[in-house]
Structure 1
Amino acid sequence: MSDDQRIYLPSQPLRPGDRYGILSDFEPGTRTLPAGFQIAPPFRPIPVDIVLEKDVAVTLRDGVTIYVDVLRPAGTDPVPVIVAWSPYGKGQGTSTSVMGVFGLVGLDNGILSGLAKFEAPDPAYWCARGYAICNPDVRGVASSEGDSVLWDRQEGLDCYDLIEWLAGQEWCTGKVAMSGTSYLAVSQWFTAAEQPPHLAAINPWEGVSDVYRDLVLRGGMPDTGFARQLRDFSFWGLGRKEDIVAEAERYPLMTDLWQDKIPDFDRITVPAYVVASYSNTLHTAGTFRAWRRMASAEKWLRVHNTQEWPDYYDEANVEDLRRFFDHYLKDEDNGWEHTPRVRYSVLDLRGGDRVGVAAGEFPPADVTPTNYYLDGRSRALTTTVPADAVPAAYDVGANPDVVSFVVRFDRETVLVGYPKAHLWVEAHGADDMDLFVLVQKLDAHGTPLQAFTTPNQGPMVQDLTERGATILRYKGSDGRLRVSLRHLDEQLSTADVPAHSFDRVEKLAPGEIVDVEVDLLPVGLVFHPGEQLRLVVSGRNLLGPMMPRLVEYTPANSGRHVIHTGGEHASYLRLPVQTG
């Protein structure tokens, strides 16, 4: 463990405010909520009697005590339990912050009971179907003891101990699962890697799987806007909290600290139902990475076409998840094993998305990676190498400060899988480059096509997503790389997905031309005849911050960026073209 590299800040006690819900008070004890109980007017009444065991003490292996709420159906029959592991307060479901988030994305708060943690399964649904829900306040949060940490092996060990404690309770069948989106998904990678004996299944619904590469230093750039928000507004407690922002500043290269924040995918062997999207610039890369690398023989992937919260609480998707859990936690012979291992979406961006397309793998077997070469003279993307070596360039801070290349498709073309950019680059007047790459879909007239991922597409969301809030509006597949950190990790890299080691700095010499590989977010995208694909390269973030109102990263750029094309320096965009 990398305790010597961790940096801590004092936490602040959880006090009444916008993140304080009705069940946030520390009130140990057991009571029964009768069928029809409604915790507050906006929320749905519960359909069955639910036993609420509040603030139950659970002692972890190092002596630290955490407190959990257990909600289970009334009665004497033992039931399996689903754990929602995150630092978000276990009483936060009725808080104004959670209600505001639902309002922002266009979800009715009445679809939930208010008994659920943020981004977690709703006890009103699951208790009515013979499951218990465990909502913990994790280490260092609210009244739980210890210092809180952010996404590393410590959380896996802690949740292991909670799972084994739950399995031993008289009301439990001994089978435990995990479910939830975002933070609740990430914690599942770490917990499953510890292999608790009574963990029967996991359901990670979009989440990072490498804190360095996905959260604080994507592409080697210290873009910590969301990490700062996560640190400052999610770890309320009595002890200390990990200062992930200070750690990113002190340790900009891969160290043991960051290695401890990568799950041991080879040890994830439990049945898994993984849910991903192409459009979440925080979660997409990490979810697909975990899916690829986890060792589970029984694993399923569904790639949806919206944002994670509407998808997670959609009635049909909840029922689909219940079939998975019924199979593995209740041993029901319901045919789940015949579910296609992959169900993916193909985005149209004009209202004609295809969803639930069945495949045996991702990318599907009928995908052929195809190189489209950059032509600096015509600014076209071509499937043959341009004979002439013609560079394209932009001056940092100028207008324009991008170069782009376009291909028009003369027949329907479907991309499904992992694109990447292989670029030959040079810096004039600088020894480094922060590069940003975007693949856009254009209509036949050259207009960029985009799509909102939430039910709310009104003026406020229009404003928020005009520049930023990329999780709410999809504008294309993006990637980024600091060129001095271009060294590839040979063990982690594949032909489709480059992975950089981030363990060394290789500055550019004057006149030096180097090749770099930039991994782009996975895509599922259809182009109709006449529509176009545009590749954009720039020295600035082309999408803005991933979340609303975050501080935008300022690239460390100066001078002139040159992208070489053709001849001996044939830069290309590799696209996953479906040929079936």
Structure 2
Amino acid sequence: MVHTLPLRPLGEITTTDESDPRYTARINEEIQLTDGSRIRANIFLPRIGGPKWPVLMSSSPYGKDLPLLEAIGMERQAGVIPQDQRCKYTRFEAPVPCWWCPKGYVLVYHDHRGSSQSPGLLSTFSNQHYDDYAELVTWAADQPWSSGKVGLTGISYLGLNQWFVAERQPRGLACIVPWEGMADLYRDATRHGGITNTKMNSYWFERAVVPVQYGKGERHVLRRGPDSPEGNQTERQLSENRDNFPQLVRENEFIDDKLYQENAASDLSKITVPVLSAGNWGGITLHLRGNIIAWMRAGSKNKYLRLHTGTHDLPYYHPPGIDLQLSFFDCCLKDDDHGGWRSGKQAPVSFAVRKGNPGFGTMDAERTFKYRDEQEWPLARTVYQKINLTADKKLSKEPQTGHGILSYAGLSGDSLFFETSPADKEYEICGHPSVKLNMSLTSHAESLLAEIDVYLALRKFDAQGKEVFYTSSLGGPQAVTVGWIRASHRTLSSRPYTEIESELAWPTLSHRREDFKPVRPGKVYDLLTELWPTNVVVEKGEKIILEVSPKDVAGSGLYTTEDPVYRSDERLGGNNNIHFGPHYENYLVLPIV
């Protein structure tokens, strides 16, 4: 049962704010959907030009009325917003009206059904949300202040939902800019390598989503917002008005389980509008993989992939990222191609080349990386170089000759580190690495729950032997890239994405229920898995180290897997062993360009 307080007549709660000379704000504009539900939006109309303008739309469960610049706990995010994008309606991960409206754009930001001011059931990552959004796109295209062209924009959740709205091809949609927005909920976010990511799921849901659910104002340290016009609902009503997302993740282990069908069953080849997919090399625990793979899956003839560095939010608001978006929207929504999107000036692919060691966490550091244009992804000139792991903890072009075993405690043991010799000349890693290990579980009581969890990290060390760190999406230090695999999920998929015609050049785990393979103590298993896509230049004298760990590696930030059910001694106790010898091939594959 969905609890809804008695609603006032349609449109009665809408108010107008003209306090800023750059835009007129219409707060709580109500849109009635075809099923009778109401969605509430804030609409920002330019005070210049018109009477019709193109529309930029965003949607999230985070609360359209929550001022980012005043939110307790949001000091870091608020601190990165440039002065020219600071105003009363600056919102978390959303476009800012004081910047976009003077450039001739209407902004429409609506509350996800069941969150903040929009009544209904709160069901994140759902077809209901994507269907609502698609219907609202057409509504926006038909408004008297609209030119009829709509573009989608926003970071993270405001980015990922764009893939699925564009798949629905709503009338009026002209382009999308999914900025750090993943598309494969299972592989990109909730169950890396089959290992459940419940800490981040819970943190996100309980601290960012639940506090702004419909019917309440400020209920958590991270968020402040107004009560709904109808007043507050009880805690029990609010709880019954939402899906418990972290619990659903725990209950749905496989990619063909109900939770993931609404994403896994998507067909991104149906996307035909221009796409600007913006990923972050530092987003190696969320979004990066999705930005790249979804771009590959999209059916658009005009699609562009851009890969930047820095924190999760900063590049969206600062040049050159904000100027890139403006030129793209001007082209798609105003037929003004000053940025060269139609003329061929803009390459299909462009990314930051991470060369040198400028440090991490600052804009000055990120600006030292130069960008390079390319015509495709993965790069056609990629050479996939196999480097062998040896029992003496080396990464070598020569295979292991004798037999050997390296072991560590399976639940909380110390990592193993395999290193190359210092590079005798410069080379660039660019693309999708992978790792193969031959592993067994010993000293474990026979159990149907027996598991081997493997966490992987690729690290770079300079000529002086110090690790080179890169900026994570949260601003902290991190490795070059990471990967994961749960041994019972070791089955590979030859065609994980039907929209991509050729087989991928890197292994992708199936994660289907029918492909589950139990782990039996004492038996050796081939574990082959992808690392997340990356770019780094290894200069002369520097070396690469592969970390193999039974637990989250340093630099994981919030994206850790501390779950007492799935990370228990009953499952993971005992020893994990890597087997070396003529019959056991262990290797790292690096994409070299």
TM-score, length basis structure 2: 0.83
- In structure 1, the partner of 2:333 is 329
Match of 1:64 among 19, 37, 48: 37
- In structure 1, the partner of 2:554 is 543
- In structure 2, the partner of 1:3 is none
- In structure 2, the partner of 1:176 is 150
* C-alpha displacement of 1:92: 1.4
* C-alpha displacement of 1:299: 0.6
State the alpha-carbon separation in 2 of the partners of residues 321 and 419 from structure 1. Answer: 30
Contact 2:180/2:280 (CA < 8 Å) preserved in 1?
Answer: yes
Alignment of 1:121 with 2:95, yes or no, is yes
State the alpha-carbon separation in 1 of the partners of residues 552 and 369 from structure 2. Answer: 29
Alignment of 1:508 with 2:519, yes or no, is yes
* C-alpha displacement of 1:11: 11
* C-alpha displacement of 1:531: 0.4
Contact 1:420/1:496 (CA < 8 Å) preserved in 2?
Answer: yes
State the alpha-carbon separation in 2 of the partners of residues 173 and 28 from structure 1. Answer: 23
- In structure 1, the partner of 2:353 is 346
- In structure 2, the partner of 1:147 is 121
- In structure 2, the partner of 1:257 is 259
State the alpha-carbon separation in 2 of the partners of residues 481 and 508 from structure 1. Answer: 13
Contact 1:102/1:109 (CA < 8 Å) preserved in 2?
Answer: no
The 5 A counterparts of 1:54-133 are: 54-74=27-47, 76-94=50-68, 96-97=70-71, 100-102=74-76, 106-107=80-81, 111-133=85-107
Q: Deviations over 1:359-412 (max 9, x none)?
A: 011232222111111111x32112232233333222336763434343431100
- In structure 2, the partner of 1:521 is 532
- In structure 1, the partner of 2:506 is 496
TM-score, length basis structure 1: 0.85
- In structure 1, the partner of 2:588 is 573
The 5 A counterparts of 1:23-38 are: 27-35=13-21
The 5 A counterparts of 1:392-431 are: 392-396=406-410, 400-430=414-444, 431=450
State the alpha-carbon separation in 2 of the partners of residues 76 and 544 from structure 1. Answer: 49
Match of 1:450 among 469, 472, 476: 469
- In structure 2, the partner of 1:480 is 484
Amino acid at match of 2:434: K
- In structure 1, the partner of 2:500 is none
Q: Deviations over 1:9-68 (max 9, x none)?
A: 9999xxxxxxxxxxxxx9512343342xxxxxxxxxxxx3x1212211111232110111
State the alpha-carbon separation in 1 of the partners of residues 87 and 65 from structure 2. Answer: 12
State the alpha-carbon separation in 1 of the partners of residues 482 and 323 from structure 2. Answer: 33
* C-alpha displacement of 1:208: 2.4
State the alpha-carbon separation in 1 of the partners of residues 195 and 258 from structure 2. Answer: 19
- The 1:483–1:296 alpha-carbon spacing in structure 2 relative to 1, beyond 3 Å, is same
- In structure 2, the partner of 1:361 is 376
- The 1:76–1:342 alpha-carbon spacing in structure 2 relative to 1, beyond 3 Å, is closer
* C-alpha displacement of 1:94: 4.1
State the alpha-carbon separation in 2 of the partners of residues 566 and 349 from structure 1. Answer: 37
- In structure 2, the partner of 1:22 is none
Match of 2:281 among 258, 278, 282: 278
State the alpha-carbon separation in 2 of the partners of residues 330 and 176 from structure 1. Answer: 10
State the alpha-carbon separation in 2 of the partners of residues 575 and 551 from structure 1. Answer: 26
- The 1:104–1:317 alpha-carbon spacing in structure 2 relative to 1, beyond 3 Å, is closer
* C-alpha displacement of 1:547: 2.7
State the alpha-carbon separation in 2 of the partners of residues 428 and 501 from structure 1. Answer: 24
* C-alpha displacement of 1:107: 4.8
Is the partner of 1:84 in helix, strand or coil?
strand
Contact 2:414/2:550 (CA < 8 Å) preserved in 1?
Answer: no
State the alpha-carbon separation in 2 of the partners of residues 323 and 95 from structure 1. Answer: 27
- The 1:407–1:570 alpha-carbon spacing in structure 2 relative to 1, beyond 3 Å, is farther
Contact 1:418/1:497 (CA < 8 Å) preserved in 2?
Answer: no
Count of aligned pairs: 528
Q: Deviations over 1:477-533 (max 9, x none)?
A: 111111011111222162224232342431222332111122111111011111010
Contact 2:490/2:528 (CA < 8 Å) preserved in 1?
Answer: yes
* C-alpha displacement of 1:108: 5.4
Match of 1:436 among 455, 468, 474: 455
Of 491-500 and 522-531, the range deviating more from structure 2: 491-500
Contact 1:420/1:574 (CA < 8 Å) preserved in 2?
Answer: yes
* C-alpha displacement of 1:99: 7.4
Identity among equivalent pairs (%): 26
- The 1:446–1:567 alpha-carbon spacing in structure 2 relative to 1, beyond 3 Å, is farther
Contact 2:460/2:544 (CA < 8 Å) preserved in 1?
Answer: yes
State the alpha-carbon separation in 2 of the partners of residues 524 and 506 from structure 1. Answer: 33
Match of 2:204 among 189, 210, 230: 230
Contact 1:54/1:68 (CA < 8 Å) preserved in 2?
Answer: yes
Q: Deviations over 1:268-287 (max 9, x none)?
A: 22210011112112121222
- The 1:532–1:368 alpha-carbon spacing in structure 2 relative to 1, beyond 3 Å, is same
- The 1:213–1:564 alpha-carbon spacing in structure 2 relative to 1, beyond 3 Å, is same
- In structure 2, the partner of 1:241 is 242
* C-alpha displacement of 1:192: 0.7
Is the partner of 1:249 in helix, strand or coil?
helix
Amino acid at match of 2:15: G
- In structure 2, the partner of 1:560 is 575
Is the partner of 2:107 in helix, strand or coil?
strand
Contact 2:417/2:545 (CA < 8 Å) preserved in 1?
Answer: no
* C-alpha displacement of 1:475: 2.1
- In structure 2, the partner of 1:167 is 141
Match of 1:533 among 534, 544, 550: 544
State the alpha-carbon separation in 2 of the partners of residues 506 and 359 from structure 1. Answer: 40
State the alpha-carbon separation in 2 of the partners of residues 313 and 96 from structure 1. Answer: 18
State the alpha-carbon separation in 1 of the partners of residues 405 and 178 from structure 2. Answer: 44
| Runs (5+) with no aligned partner, structure 1 | 1-7, 13-25, 36-47, 455-468
The 5 A counterparts of 1:39-50 are: 48=22, 50=23
Amino acid at match of 2:179: W
State the alpha-carbon separation in 1 of the partners of residues 297 and 126 from structure 2. Answer: 17
Alignment of 1:386 with 2:388, yes or no, is no
Amino acid at match of 2:312: E
- The 1:418–1:411 alpha-carbon spacing in structure 2 relative to 1, beyond 3 Å, is same
State the alpha-carbon separation in 2 of the partners of residues 433 and 53 from structure 1. Answer: 54
- The 1:53–1:106 alpha-carbon spacing in structure 2 relative to 1, beyond 3 Å, is closer
Contact 2:55/2:149 (CA < 8 Å) preserved in 1?
Answer: yes
State the alpha-carbon separation in 2 of the partners of residues 94 and 560 from structure 1. Answer: 47
State the alpha-carbon separation in 1 of the partners of residues 133 and 125 from structure 2. Answer: 12
* C-alpha displacement of 1:136: 0.6
- Aligned-pair RMSD on alpha carbons? 2.5
- The 1:98–1:453 alpha-carbon spacing in structure 2 relative to 1, beyond 3 Å, is farther
The 5 A counterparts of 1:201-220 are: 201-220=175-194
- In structure 2, the partner of 1:314 is 318
Amino acid at match of 1:573: L
State the alpha-carbon separation in 1 of the partners of residues 32 and 54 from structure 2. Answer: 21
State the alpha-carbon separation in 2 of the partners of residues 406 and 383 from structure 1. Answer: 9
- The 1:566–1:124 alpha-carbon spacing in structure 2 relative to 1, beyond 3 Å, is farther
Of 418-427 and 111-120, the range deviating more from structure 2: 111-120
State the alpha-carbon separation in 1 of the partners of residues 164 and 369 from structure 2. Answer: 33
Contact 2:277/2:306 (CA < 8 Å) preserved in 1?
Answer: yes
Contact 1:374/1:572 (CA < 8 Å) preserved in 2?
Answer: yes
- The 1:11–1:224 alpha-carbon spacing in structure 2 relative to 1, beyond 3 Å, is farther
State the alpha-carbon separation in 1 of the partners of residues 322 and 72 from structure 2. Answer: 20
